[in-house]
Amino acid sequence: MANRHLSRSIVLQSLFEWDFRGRNTDPSEIINANAKEFAPGVNDVSFAGNLMKGIIANQQAIDDIIVKAAPDWPIDKISTVDRNVLRIGLFELLFSDRNEVPSKVAINEAIELAKTFGGETSGRFVNGVLGAVYKEMGEPGKDAVSTKKKRPDVPYEEMPIQHLGGAVVYARHDGDIYMAFVHDVFGHWTLSKGKIPEGVEPGDGTVAKVKEEIGLDVTVKSDLGSNEYIANDPEIGKIRKQVHYYMVEAKFEKLILAKKPGLDDAKWFKVSDIIDLNFYNDILPIVTKAVNILNQG
């Protein structure tokens, strides 16, 4: 089941990319590329591939249902993330084998996607739309008891740890301070970040990741601290992801974004302009801390 949750995340990203590219790219190519990047441990991507094909084949019917279920929201005004989460949820709710994907699972999975990748109100919005459709269907399976086998709980102290490094990249140019951010396919500006190989110092690993992702040579100037969150790995269950953040300085040079799924842009912004950018909630305090350090200097 963990693999299926991951597969739905890959489908959401792939639908976003397919929309972004004008729907001119073979969907299977996008799915395969994203699965290779974000789910290297999942060998069978047929669930994700079939889900995406089904959504695309039934998109007009699904969109018509969205229009009826959310009459106050023209479909082109719904955010791209929320719109594609609804497409996933409605396809599984209406067109999937109910023995394979019970109605409550389809709704709950869509809500989790919305909470993870959408805005602050996305979960409630998706819940409202799918809930309305579910009631119109007569609430099938409402009293069903889940037979899903839970993975045994692992004590916090025994969870595997994955180390990552992230960087707030800045440069001075013509009397102004700029920061470089990467943009992901879910509409957020975020930091260059990546896994730190075993045995590599976090600072050195972060410098290497910045070079790999946006093509800049950088120097570590400040340690911005760490945070930790628990994530579900499809193969081994819950893991502790520890991210160490640094403020790094670069020359104000052209950014060269690596060709990798999940990212679609990289830009320099004046520090005075970043207040209007759409950041993830856990990234904003890191960026704010870096700005304060620069202002004090």
pLDDT number for residue 279 = 86
Please answer whether residues 18 and 27 qualify as being in contact, where contact means their C-beta atoms are separated by less than 8 angstroms.
yes
Q: What is the pLDDT of residue 74?
A: 83
> Which residue do the tokens 């039934």 mark?
58
Give, for 237, the enclosing helix (H) or strand (E).
strand 237-250
Q: Alpha-carbon dihedral of residues 33, 37, 40, 46, nearest 10 degrees?
A: -30
* Spatial distance between the Cα atoms of 246 and 219, rounded to a whole number of angstroms: 10
Map out the domains of the chain with their CATH numbers: 2-136 (1.10.940.10), 159-296 (3.90.79.10)
pLDDT for 36: 78
Q: Quick check: helix, strand or coil at residue 139?
A: coil
Distance between CA 85 and CA 119 in Å, rounded? 12
User: pTM of the prediction?
Assistant: 0.56
User: What phi and psi, each to the nearest 5 degrees, are found at residue 160?
Assistant: -60, 150
Three-class SS string for 240-296? Answer: EEEEEEEEEEECCCCCCCCCCCCEEEEEEEEHHHHHHCCECCCCHHHHHHHHHHHHH
- Strands, E assignment, 91-132: none
- pLDDT per position as a tens digit, 209-248: 999 999 999 999 999 998 887 766 655 667 888 889 999 9
Low-confidence ranges of the chain (pLDDT < 70): 1-2, 21-22, 39-44, 139-152, 185-186, 231-237, 260-262, 297
